[in-house]
Structure 1
Amino acid sequence: MLDRCQMTDPFMMFLPELLLILLGGLARNWVKWDTWRDINRLSYRIFFPALLFHAASGHAISASDVLTIGLAVWALLGIGFILGLLTRSLGPEKFLDFAGIWQTSWRFNSALAFVVMTSLPPASAALMSAAIGVGVPMANLLAVGVLSHGTGKGHLGTLKLVAMNPFLLASMAGLIVSMSGITLPTVPMQTIGKLAGIAVPLALLSLGANMDWRALHRLGGIEVALNTIKLIALPLAALIIGYVCNLPKEYTIVLVAFAALPTATVAHIMASVFGADSGRVSTITAQSTMLGLMTLPCWIFLAQL
């Protein structure tokens, strides 16, 4: 039986997920906003960390694997950071507002990363878990850096939040279990597995409920540039890294899938916290998500060739 990531039709791979997103878009008409907010909190604190830990601890992975995938992920984030800066002349005059949308050129959608992770064979899923684990803190650190530039706000409290991020802690804990060879008791692992199974469906429903479905009508110069960087330039860079470094196929697939993820849906929240124009960030996030659902399967297909 073929793994989902080995299916010949890449769009069929994400069809169930797309239907869940559409269902979420319909459900927002009869589910209160407070309910979606509570679902997001549960996902962030419980379901996603359970999924990350379950994937990372469930398959043997070496320290060299973590180092390799980690360095490659940081390189991709750095490429997105630099390319995004090159769009400065197209963006808002106020630097803080530009910083708000600049972060969309390197940040990634963790919910869809988990969808990809559950679609991969166990070995590749463990690598994707490591990629998410090392990518989350670095992406947040870069965002904090550019948004805090010139605002006069202290960094210590925000950096503490980054260090205590549940995704980072769950990934690191899972990797430690995996690399140490520790076998955890069956009942706790089964419980974690059940929590992990809830994560993706709830996240996709919430994504659909919170999405601005008319955002594609507002594609301007800066929006086109940033979406091109995130959805085309970065996965292409991942393919090149895999080829130049002669990485194993499973590494390349994970890197390309990671790089091709749409930008983070929470980017507008951080923009709002620092006083940037969060509305424009929300528009770019919605554009990236809708376009990314079409480009992501294509890049995964290319990475398998």
Structure 2
Amino acid sequence: MIDNLVYSVNAILPIFLLVVLGWILKRAGKLTDSFTEVADWLVFKVGLPVMLFLEVAESSLAESGDGLLILYLIVAVTASFTLMSLLSPFIVRKPEMRGAFIQGSCRSNFAILGVPLAQNMFGDVGGQVIAITMPFVILMFNSYSVVILSIFSGSREQKFGWKTLKGILKSIVTNPLIIGVIIGVPFMLWQIPLPTAASKTLHYLSGLTTPLALLSLGANFKSESLRGRAGYAVLGALNRTVIIPAVAVTAAALFGLRGPSLGVVLICFGAPTAVSSYIMAKKMNNDHELAAQILLLSTMLCVFTIFIGIFILKSLDLI
């Protein structure tokens, strides 16, 4: 179990350290507002779509036949977004904060941390099981996030109607992250290989995404932004790392999921808030400062909560 704790720390700590580095460089005058603006655009429009395309394109439907796991993840992710959306008006007073709160609570860093965590827990089998779930989970996380951020975009909650629905559908269709996932689906279904030069180029771009997003996140962080948001940030982080994972994993175990499949459920719902949640909240006119705080807090908490989750499931001989 010490190995699991060490791995969890090694997986999460670099994320936190890059955020701190961005904050230090901004305070030292080395990163400017112009840099972070360009970095946010590059991550949202280029880096993340490329990274998600590769995640989907390089997975294979033949790698796993666990239909129950896929069905469970679809239902559970949908339920978490739906329930949090229904509860948020009673929790978050300001409508402009609700989109960031819901997304931060429900959307995990599955795309970045999923495969390495699964491989560490279960070896190649874990990587194969999680690869088959990746397209479904990524598409749901991004689609639901676009819907939520569109509804709560701006200074007040939008009234739902045909005009709003058209705007949401347009946001989904034109969202760079959704486009990246959709383009990757044919490559996954028919196992279309990428030319070597194209593959290397795309992997170079993908490799820039997470460091650049985290540096920008740290550079944009302002301690004074915690005022009026600290309670929501803490609750959002607890939703992301404790409450939702506990419910999702317990339900999955009751439905009969075991071994790598149950481990994937823990990773999907127990990973910290997605790095891209901050960028999306900012670009879609939501409270990106609250999104950043939930991301930071959930990343710190995740080191302990994932370890505890692994320990409990292994102690009960469920994984």
Residue matched to 2:176 = 166
Contact 2:57–2:188 under 8 Å retained in 1: yes
Q: Is structure 2 residue 273 aligned with structure 1 residue 262?
A: yes
* Closer, same or farther: CA 228–59 of 1 in aligned 2, 3 Å: closer
Aligned to 2:9: 11
**Contact persistence 2:49–2:181 (CA under 8 A):** yes
Tell me, yes or no, if the aligned pair for 2:56 and 2:184 is still in contact at 8 Å.
yes
Which residue, out of 100, 103, 116, partners 1:119? 116
Does 2:296 correspond to 1:296? no
Q: 1:160 to 1:83 in 2, by over 3 A?
A: closer
In the alignment, which residue of structure 1 is the partner of 2:290?
284
- The CA distance in 2 between the partners of 1:195 and 1:58, in whole Å, is 16
1:22 to 20, 23, 26: 20
CA distance in 1, matches of 2:42, 2:230: 35
> 241-250 or 219-228: which moved more?
219-228
Distance 1:207 1:283, change over 3 A: closer
State the alpha-carbon separation in 1 of the partners of residues 43 and 303 from structure 2.
24
Rounded Cα–Cα distance in structure 2 between residues aligned with 1:107 and 1:7: 24
Aligned pairs for 1:36-75 within 5 A: 36-62=36-62, 68-69=69-70, 72-75=73-76
- Given the alignment of the two structures, is residue 150 of structure 1 paired with residue 163 of structure 2, yes or no? no
Letter in 2 for 1:162: I
Question: Could you list the runs of 5+ residues in structure 1 that have no partner in the other structure?
Answer: 273-277
Q: Look up the SS of the partner of 1:262 in the other structure.
A: coil
Distance 1:144 1:38 in 2: 23
Residues of 1 paired with 2:30 and 2:278: CA distance? Answer: 22
- Cα 1:179–1:106 change in 2 (3 A) is same
Q: Normalising to structure 2: TM-score of the pair? A: 0.74
1:127-166 Cα distance to aligned partner (Å, 9 max, x none): 3354222220122223434565438763313321212322
The one-letter amino acid of 1:139's match is S
Question: Which sits farther off after the overlay, 183-192 or 124-133?
Answer: 124-133
Contact 1:24/1:208 (<8 A) preserved? yes
Number of aligned positions between the proteins: 290
The SS at the match of 1:163 is: helix
CA distance, structure 2, for counterparts of residue 7 and residue 98 of structure 1? 34
Conservation of the 8 A alpha-carbon contact between 2:146 and 2:171: no
Alignment deviations for residues 242-283 of structure 1 (CA, whole Å, 9 cap, x no partner): 3123335444334333323327224654774xxxxx5xx445
Please say if residues 23 and 218 of structure 2, whose CA atoms lie closer than 8 Å, have aligned partners that are also in contact. yes
Q: Which residue of 2 aligns with 1:86?
A: 87
Range that drifts further, 167-176 or 19-28: 167-176
Show CA shifts across 1:55-80 (max 9, x none). 22223225966895375245234324
**Corresponding residue for residue 232 of structure 1:** 242
> Helix, strand or coil for the counterpart of 1:86?
helix
1:196 partner letter:
S
Q: Which stretch shifts more, 253-262 or 202-211?
A: 253-262
Q: Which residue does 1:76 correspond to in 2?
A: 77
1:101-250 superposed matches below 5 A: 103-104=102-103, 106-108=105-107, 112-117=109-114, 119-120=116-117, 121=119, 122-123=127-128, 124-125=130-131, 127-145=133-151, 149-150=158-159, 154-213=164-223, 223-247=233-257, 249-250=259-260
Q: Is the 8 A contact 2:273 2:295 kept in 1?
A: yes
TM-score by length of 1: 0.77
More displaced stretch, 173-182 vs 256-265: 256-265
Q: Which residue of 1 aligns with 2:123?
A: none
> Matches of residues 90-101 of structure 1 in structure 2 within 5 Å?
90-92=91-93, 96-97=95-96, 99-100=98-99
- In the alignment, residue 278 of structure 2 is paired with which amino acid? T
Distance in 2 between residues matched to 1:104 and 1:149, nearest whole Å: 17
Distance 2:88 2:66 in 1: 34
Quote the Cα distance in structure 2 between the aligned partners of 1:140 and 1:90.
Answer: 21
Query: How far apart are 1:7 and its partner, in Å?
Result: 6.3
Structure 2 regions of 5+ residues with no counterpart? Answer: 120-126, 315-319
Give yes or no for contact 1:69–1:127 (8 Å, CA) kept in 2.
Answer: yes
Larger CA deviation: 172-181 vs 151-160: 151-160
